[in-house]
Structure 1
Amino acid sequence: MLDSLFLRLEELYPEMVEIRRELHSEPELSFQEVKTPKFIGDYLERLGIEVKRNVGGRGVIGVIKGAKPGKTVALRADFDALPIEEETGLPFASKHKGIMHACGHDGHTAILLVLAKALAEHRDQLRGTIVLIHQFAEELAPGGAIEMIKDGCLDEVDVVFGTHLWSTMPLGKIGYRNGPIMANADRFDLVIHGRGGHGASPHETVDSIAVASSVVAQLQQIVSRNVNPLKAAVVTVGSFHSGSAFNVIADQAELTGTVRTFDSEVQELIIERIEQVTKGICDSMGATYTLDYKKGYPAVINDEEITNHFVKSVESVDDVSLFEMEPVMGGEDFAYYLQKVPGTFFFTGAGNKEKQIVYPHHHPKFDFDEKAMLYAAKCLAKAAIAYGERMEVNGNREVQSI
């Protein structure tokens, strides 16, 4: 079946490109998706696939039941865009000012839709059930995954696979990893409260900018001086806003930032140290503060057995080369699926220097080599089918299939 399925995917590749480009031109922000889930649901229904809409809010689920008994495998793709003004100059660029598919989710959706079409055409040879999870709002916490899970998208699912097209990885490369592959993605909002006044009379004020600057400098010491150097962590202050006039000492300063970790103990250590550092500096300089720390997506932790299955299954796929990659400090709410069922998340190389496809994710000029969609579809198909055929149901007992 795989030879026939792969051939069909190659035949359908132009349709995959067409879908991607249509979705790219009509991006929708997280929690605001309307046209995209309708497009997905309508497409799947035309294929005769069982469809559930509004899952967890705006998600779409498709279910393909094979003619033979077997496991239930879920495949996930996200479909939201970002609040970025596109600068690619592509003929299919975003039609909506300030909104862009700058992370490849248009490609993820096209991959899963066309793979669904190919799988639906092979129902009579398919063992088990394929659940197609089309997820909304990956880009903005709390994300769509957790609500879709609450609404039953993983009910009766045995294993889950997902991928991310990755523009900074060369086309044809497939990156996998056992254990943590993406980080906890937290956010903090910190407001320093001083006492404003005239710029000519600093002795009568508590300069919030001076206090906040000291806080920023000391926060940079947390990872280098408090975290075990064998464990990865990031503390980044991403914005610093204060003041409105050259001769006024600002009453308050606002800082926002992110913390990235893989280990929950390291995460808690950093939270504690942010609080201690800020309090110590504010106390010593006569200021007060308000800290709002939000834990974001948990770390994406791949199941060892399923990751090994993925590698063994995919290593024979033509035109791709697998390698064990380093963890990525970015966050992903695919983590929630992996907390419920075993699975693995992998990266599909989509960069191409010859075509000048070199910009990173979330960049206004982001793009990816569309051929990567075909490679990703084949890898997902091979892993899913191989897992479905791995076990054969015999009454109430499972026996290894031959």
Structure 2
Amino acid sequence: MRTPSNGLLSDAERDAVIELRHALHREPELSNAEWRTQERIRSTLQRFGISGTKVFHNTGLYVDIEGTASGLKRSVAVRGDIDALPIQEARDDLPYCSQIDGVMHACGHDLHGSIALGTALAFHRLRDNFSGRVRVFFQPAEEAEPLGGRTVQEEKLLDGFDRAVGFHVSPEIPAGAFDAREGAISKSADQFKLTITGKMAHGAAPHQGVDAIAIAAAFVNEVQKVVSREMPVDDAAIVTIGTIHGGNATNIICPLVEMEGTIRTRSPERRALLSERVREVAESVASMHRGRAECVIRTGEPAVVNDAEMVNRFRKVVHETIGREAYTDKKRAGGSDDFGFYSACVPSIYFWFGSRSPGNESYVHTPTFGVSDEVIIPTTELAVRYILDLLSV
């Protein structure tokens, strides 16, 4: 496995990328509150002569880099998310560990934003060497509603673009390796809130009431049959009940239960069916037990779908730049990512870059998650090479 030469980033650009990573990690900000992060990115871009940044979703930024060479006028968008998570960091071995209590970059968005910065800096300096346009998104709120990716879609910020590129760190893959596969590589994520209404009665006279807790228990069991008996096994659909709240006394038949959960699937067609079946099961189970159910479903991010041609070109770039042994195509995500809004608008790729190395084996969304700086510049270089390739076809 070869490490790509640093021919696409200057020393100053490399330093700026690593400096941003450390700064973002030291001062992480939660979804929809990335104000310092936004200003830090804007000022770094300005320091390198990049102006014209535009704000979206309040705390996000994007910037267009226009190539001046003659040739095809392709346009490629690049997304780096920038928000952190409400987790207390448990890494005391890092000189740049989080200084914000209860908040850390436990999903690698400090790396993603830094790679996006390096991409913007490289294309700005190389603008005489390509034609077309590169739009770099520093996207807030990937982790929590309201989602920044939804704003990209709703505000039509990808109109006129040919392709979009996203990426994510993965501790499941060795540092220096990359992974991409065609088709749906994550799941859609829709949330539901279920309110079950029964009738209060004394615990010694249950026949005089309607037990909302009993209805809730029946729903939890029955809704799983939608997944196990109505969905194809290879879809790996999931219905999760995340919260249940009901009752306030041990001797009273509970009249009201509120439940919240998520619905996940890789299939756009089965996505609508799953939501409808969750509602139908809730209403039917409640009615069978003489109660009522109201189910409100909030549509979240769609599945991320990788374009086959883009995956093939990415594989070729990895093979030629780093080596065949650096590429895999086995990883799928059981979770979701609002890059799905991008892939719903234009042909897209979402690739994984590996981070597993001694001392950095913990999974994302854990207090001990960490990634070496050493993966950042090679990943940035690979992204730049790949985008240059996309601009040429």
Same fold? TM cut 0.5: yes
8 A Cα contact 1:5 1:118, kept in partner: no
8 A Cα contact 2:122 2:384, kept in partner: no
Alignment partner of 2:126 out of 122, 125, 129: 122
| 1:351 corresponding residue in structure 2 | 356
> 2: distance between equivalents of 1:375 and 1:49?
23
Letter in 2 for 1:266: R
RMSD: 2.4
| 1:329 corresponding residue in structure 2 | 334
Residues 1:254 and 2:258 aligned together: yes
Relative distance call for 1:251 and 1:374 in structure 2 (3 A) is same
Relative distance call for 1:264 and 1:7 in structure 2 (3 A) is closer
Task: Give aligned-pair identity as a percent.
Answer: 33
Query: Where in structure 2 are the equivalents of 1:205-220 lying within 5 Å?
Result: 205-220=209-224
More off after superposition, 309-318 vs 363-372 = 363-372
Unaligned runs of 5+ in 2: none
8 A Cα contact 2:9 2:118, kept in partner: no
8 A Cα contact 2:8 2:384, kept in partner: no
| 1:83 corresponding residue in structure 2 | 86
| 1:17 corresponding residue in structure 2 | 18
8 A Cα contact 1:109 1:134, kept in partner: yes
More off after superposition, 176-185 vs 160-169 = 160-169
| 2:110 corresponding residue in structure 1 | 106
Query: Where in structure 2 are the equivalents of 1:216-255 lying within 5 Å?
Result: 216-255=220-259
8 A Cα contact 1:307 1:344, kept in partner: yes
Alignment partner of 1:161 out of 152, 162, 165: 165
| 1:276 corresponding residue in structure 2 | 280
> 2: distance between equivalents of 1:247 and 1:86?
43
More off after superposition, 192-201 vs 107-116 = 192-201
Query: Where in structure 2 are the equivalents of 1:3-402 lying within 5 Å?
Result: 5-6=6-7, 8=9, 13=14, 15-69=16-70, 70=72, 71-89=74-92, 90-151=94-155, 153-318=157-322, 321-352=326-357, 354-355=358-359, 357-390=360-393
* Number of aligned residues: 387
Letter in 1 for 2:68: A
Where 1:35 maps in the other structure, the secondary structure is helix
> 2: distance between equivalents of 1:245 and 1:170?
52
> 2: distance between equivalents of 1:284 and 1:56?
45
More off after superposition, 341-350 vs 140-149 = 140-149
> 1: distance between equivalents of 2:38 and 2:111?
15
Relative distance call for 1:94 and 1:227 in structure 2 (3 A) is same
> 1: distance between equivalents of 2:287 and 2:66?
64
> 1: distance between equivalents of 2:125 and 2:84?
30
| 1:397 corresponding residue in structure 2 | none
Unaligned runs of 5+ in 1: 391-402
> 2: distance between equivalents of 1:87 and 1:247?
43
Q: Which protein has the bigger strand share? A: 1
Letter in 2 for 1:210: A
More off after superposition, 78-87 vs 157-166 = 78-87
Relative distance call for 1:117 and 1:52 in structure 2 (3 A) is closer
> 2: distance between equivalents of 1:154 and 1:121?
23
Relative distance call for 1:380 and 1:209 in structure 2 (3 A) is same
